Homo-oligomer: A and B are copies of this chain.
């Protein structure tokens, strides 16, 4: 910067102003300086700028599992919408481990990122708020319901989605519905289970523990769940998986063991990831507005940073996608 100041015969300040698009610069000097900048191919030093401005135009995104399409799509959505506003994104993968979330927050804060978007975090939110104050970043929570805590959040009505799915099955005549739950420490997993329970209650069907199998949202868990359900004396006539990945595992087990879907057993998933439609039979599932989650979280962050004021929460809704895996 110093050199380009020299080359164009002005002070560094003026160069800085040209770079910053300040209005207080003579048209002619502006052009001259800009010319030199272009010619030399000068690139500003974001570190120095950040150090000086106390702002980095960089955001952190913390994901439980970047190799899961559901989350990576959210990450992608965030990056896309934020980039057009001149922000860059730091991505951290935590494998769903709280300690990793915490160290990600710390590491991010050392880099003076302006804000952190936590996707489906498991961290205690009071702790998060403490960190955000101590390290001075704007927090946003995505894909987890937040209540009574001043952190802007966007989430999906998981319970409502599961209610719809369960109800659909019951109306189809199913009474014994197996449920593959997610990890009990994941808020969304609980919500989905609650949706299932709620519908059973409404329809006067007793809730049975043995019809619930708990997994960790991965394909093999679904496989194991199906194996378990089919070992039962009274086998379920339908199975709901708390996410599509586990539904895929179920599908796999059923088909390799000679069961036909939906003839012998009905199956419902949750998420509507891309492959679900391509499965055979195409999976009936609860579609989440995946991209929207990320996009909204990003927008909220931009807003939050801009205004410095808490932005209102956003609740998105699922929609039930009927395909060919139930009857």
Q: Which residues of A contact B (CB under 8 A)?
A: 41, 43-48, 50-51, 56, 58, 66-69, 72-73, 75-76, 79-80, 88-93, 106-107, 109-112, 134-135, 219, 223, 248-249, 251-252, 255-256, 274-275, 277-280, 282
Contacts and interface: CB of A to CB of B under 8 A. Distances in A.
Nearest to A280: B255
A88 B90 contact: yes
B44 A110 contact: yes
A282 B251 CA distance: 11
Contact of A47 (B51, B80, B88, B277): B51
Contacts of A219: 274-275, 278
Contact of A252 (B67, B75, B110, B278): B278
B278 A112 contact: no
Contacts of A134: 41
A252 B51 CA distance: 53
Nearest to A73: B67
A93 B282 CA distance: 29
B56 A66 contact: no
8 contacts: A46-B111, A58-B111, A67-B76, A76-B93, A88-B111, A219-B275, A252-B280, A255-B280
A95 to B, nearest CB: 9
A107 B43 CA distance: 9
B47 A112 contact: yes
Contacts of A44: 110
| Stoichiometry, copies per complex | 2
Contact of A249 (B47, B106, B278): B278
Contacts of A88: 90, 92, 107, 111
Contacts of A51: 45, 47-48, 51
Nearest to A88: B107
Nearest to A58: B111
Nearest to A77: B67
A319 to B, nearest CB: 20
Contacts of A75: 66-67, 91
A325 B73 CA distance: 29
Nearest to A79: B93
Contact of A112 (B45, B72, B80, B249): B45
A317 B178 CA distance: 42
In this complex, which of A45, A106, A277, A278 has the most chain B Cβ atoms within 10 angstroms of its Cβ? Answer: A278
A69 to B, nearest CB: 6
Given A67-B69, A69-B67, A110 B251 contact: no
B278 A280 contact: no
Contacts of A251: 278, 280
A313 B198 CA distance: 58
A256 B90 CA distance: 42
Contacts of A48: 51
A130 B151 CA distance: 44
A226 to B, nearest CB: 11
Contacts of A68: 69
A92 B79 CA distance: 8
